[in-house]
Structure 1
Amino acid sequence: MSHSSLVNSLAGIRSKQPWLVMNAAEKFSLSGSDNPIISHFYSFEAKDAREATFAIPDGCVDILFDCDSDRPTAEVFGTPMAAMNMELNSQHRYFGVRFLSGIIPDCFNVSAEELIDHHYSFLDVVPQSNQVFEAIVTSSNFTEQAALFGDFFESKETRKPSDLTTQVLQSICQSNGTIRINDLEDLTGYSTRTVQRQFRADMGMTPKAFSQIIRCQSAVYDINHSEEVAFSDLACDLGFSDQAHFQREFKKLVHTTPLDYLHRVKHETYLERIRYL
């Protein structure tokens, strides 16, 4: 499968960070990108509240700019493997860039494995980024910020995974994370050990870990967009042995139970908070 076909496959993964949306002071602005490896741009002002904001596993690399006029910063975030507290500053305005799940820009001077569960200064990780950093944090216009980053990143490449990892990524995404590791051996013709070793070298994590991420995102998407959810059916659809297993994994990855998350989504009118530009 070609790299462009992989990008098209990954574009179907609906990466969400719901706590960012629900902890925005007002609207959470979201915009698509002409660059095929960028999932979307987003912008919000953080609530003036004591409640923590959590990042959940999504398989994505994010760049988050804190556009504070006194002390602006920008950080590159790798995907967390479980719900992770984000230290946002109340009433600060943020601009974010989210790459497609499974995509790692080649201009980053850190490895795939070093990105997992970590974040780094954008200026340290991305060479020759001072000018675009200054332009983005001093702009108050979301559309302009997206255009500035888009122009900066237009000539940048992505790290192309091996053909084996590409095949595994596509299979995981098409199955919503429900494919079993043993099935990958039959599908690829390689031993489980070889599949895991190559996938980890390319992606910084095991196929099983990436499958859990995609499965988590599928559950979050279904809850966000459904009026009523039968958790037993959802657990079955996502390949869990029983509902209790689904609830345990969901709580670890999303920081709350599926039922509590559903109540929060409806109370905060999650979908109404998102403003598409």
Structure 2
Amino acid sequence: MHDFHCEFDPPAPLRGAIRCFWHTRRADHGPSFEIIPDGYAEIIFYFGSCYLDGMPLPSPFLMGLLNQPLQLTTDGVLDVIGIRCYPWTVFDLLGLPADKDGLRVFEHPVAVLQPALQTCVAEGRIEDAVALLADYFSGAQPAAVDPTLFKAGAAMLAARGVLPVSQVAAAAHATVRTLERKFKQSSGHTVKDVSGLMRFEQARNRLWSAPDANLAELAQALGYTDQSHLSREFKRYSGMTPAAFARKRRP
């Protein structure tokens, strides 16, 4: 049995809140694995075993925005089905108050799907599992995304986290103060927090696919002040410099 990953687009009515559904099977590695920060929040269902600091996690749990890598462990094959959400929509989607917790255990009616999802995964019917989740959230009638947050999020995503807050506010036709208030209420984070993670994610992905990339050119392309700025921000979120990350990625 080998590792596997695939992603599925959400139905059109959910695309303002959900980036994608995904399935990962983790089989060929050791018991410990690392979750590296990115610009999304994830609702996580898992099938197998998953521990944080030796304590089993419930399924589902919420993986919010992280400021540093998180170490989890398993003791066998681990299947995960995730719902990748925008940080400014995930709490409204679940009907929960926003907070800044990186990993959050929560109680929610969606947990009733765990047995049916487990059956689908055990039988290899991943598309059926995703359809169950899509049907659930489509039928749950989540609150519509605030137009200001929708426009701000679209601008941030298009710019990959490079826009300063004032330009994000202008794109959303809002004042900086109004935008920051709505963003904090919906995500638990500031616009700058989320933009920084988006930009780090771009740097991480570039170095993952091209570990020999020129770091000065990468810093310029992603809107960092210079290479040292890139290195500081990269180390802040990953615990290592971009050069060290690239060395680790090389064969």
TM-score by length of 2: 0.79
Question: Which residue of 1 is the match for residue 241 of structure 2?
Answer: 257
- Contact 1:46 1:90 survives alignment (8 Å): no
Q: 1:65 aligns to what?
A: 46
- Note the C-alpha offset of 1:115: 6.2
How far did 1:56 drift? 1.4
Name the structure 2 match of 1:98.
Answer: 83
Q: Alignment partner of 2:105: what SS? A: strand
Q: TM-score, normalised by structure 1?
A: 0.73
What SS does the corresponding residue of 1:87 show, helix, strand or coil?
A: strand
* Distance in 2, Cα, partners of 1:33 & 1:170: 17
What SS class does the counterpart of residue 41 from structure 2 fall into?
coil
Specify the alignment match of 1:3 in structure 2: none
Task: Name the SS for the 1:171 alignment partner.
Answer: helix
Aligned residues: 236
After TM superposition, the structure 1 = structure 2 runs for residues 59-208 of structure 1, keeping only pairs within 5 Å, are: 59-68=40-49, 73-102=58-87, 103-104=89-90, 106=92, 108-111=94-97, 113-114=98-99, 116-121=101-106, 124-125=107-108, 127=109, 129-130=111-112, 132-141=113-122, 143-154=124-135, 155-208=139-192
Unaligned segments of structure 2, at least 5 residues: 50-55
Using a 3 Å threshold, how does the CA distance of structure 1 residues 33 and 178 change in structure 2: closer, same or farther? closer
Indicate if the aligned counterparts of 2:58 and 2:105 stay in contact, CA closer than 8 A: no
Deviates most, 100-109 or 51-60: 100-109
Residue ranges of structure 1 left out of the alignment (5+ in a row): 1-24, 268-277
Letter in 2 for 1:202: S
Quote how far apart the aligned CAs of 1:79 are.
2.2
Corresponding residue SS for 2:155:
helix
What CA distance in whole angstroms lies between the structure 2 residues aligned with 1:169 and 1:152? 23
The higher-RCO structure (CA 8 Å, 6+ apart) is: 1
CA distance in 2, matches of 1:160, 1:99: 17
Is the contact between residue 152 and residue 169 of structure 2 (CA under 8 Å) also seen in structure 1? no
Listed one character per residue, the Cα deviations across residues 153-187 of structure 1 (whole Å, up to 9, x for unaligned) are 31234443322222211111111111011223444
Distance 2:32 2:61 in 1: 23
